[in-house]
Amino acid sequence: MGRVFDQHNITYLHVGGTVIGLVRDHGEYVPYDTDTDFGVDANDYEKLDKAIPDLQKTGYIFKWVYPEKEPKNTSKHWYMVGCPNKNCSLGPGIALYRTDSEHIEAPVPPWKYPKDIVVPPIRRVFEGMEMPFPRQPEKYLDFVYGKDKWRTPLKCDKHYYSQCNATLRAESLSILLYWNFLCFTTVQLYFRHWDIQIL
């Protein structure tokens, strides 16, 4: 997907669990979080919309969670999901973000981020390829999951949403809020068959 973003001159970066993999798991996916989530600059909304046919060549059907002709003046309604099948059992997410002089607003918890820890992105090696990440990855993770609390892996079987025994409260709570947000806001479209549990 990164190649498609680059081909269309879209400003993007990896976010969420992928950043944990970069820092904690030495540039590899977290074993229980093998999907990928992206942040895309909202100024590139039209470019991203035009890139959908090329994105779908990666094996996913991409749909806007809140279909709109044009984005509103808030990014809380901008989220695109990639579906490997009609039930969207697991796929990449693309969140559009807006920036002002001090903050970034995005449609995923915690909603607002300090700008200087996220942009401009830096490129780091992940899974053998150079990719863009938040400018200060560790500070980003501290802000999202809690100071150093992301450093302890969860005890999970395959994926964090199936029989996951949370040993890290902050991380599990953030994941739960994140997925509940997606489930409740997209139930009419894609997620009605998901059964998300963090034990």
pLDDT tens digits along 13-27:
999 999 999 999 999
Task: Give the sign of the dihedral formed by CA 88, CA 91, CA 96, CA 101.
Answer: positive
**Average pLDDT in the 59-71 region?**
66
96 vs 61 pLDDT, higher one:
96
pTM of the complete model: 0.72
Confidence of residue 157 (pLDDT cuts 50, 70, 90): low
pLDDT of residue 156: 64
Three-state secondary structure call for residue 31: coil
38 and 92 in contact (C-beta within 8 Å)?
A: yes
Strand 93-99 to 37-41 pairing? parallel
| Position with higher pLDDT, 67 vs 34 | 34
Residue 109 is predicted with a pLDDT of 78
**Residue bearing the bigger pLDDT, 157 or 182:** 157
Q: Give me the sign of the Cα torsion angle 1, 64, 10, 111.
A: negative
- Structure tokens given for 179: 């997925």
Residue in the block written with tokens 């903050």: 103
Look at residue 90 and tell me whether its pLDDT is greater than 50: yes
Judged by phi (left if over 0) then psi (alpha if -120 to 50, else beta), residue 118 lies in: alpha
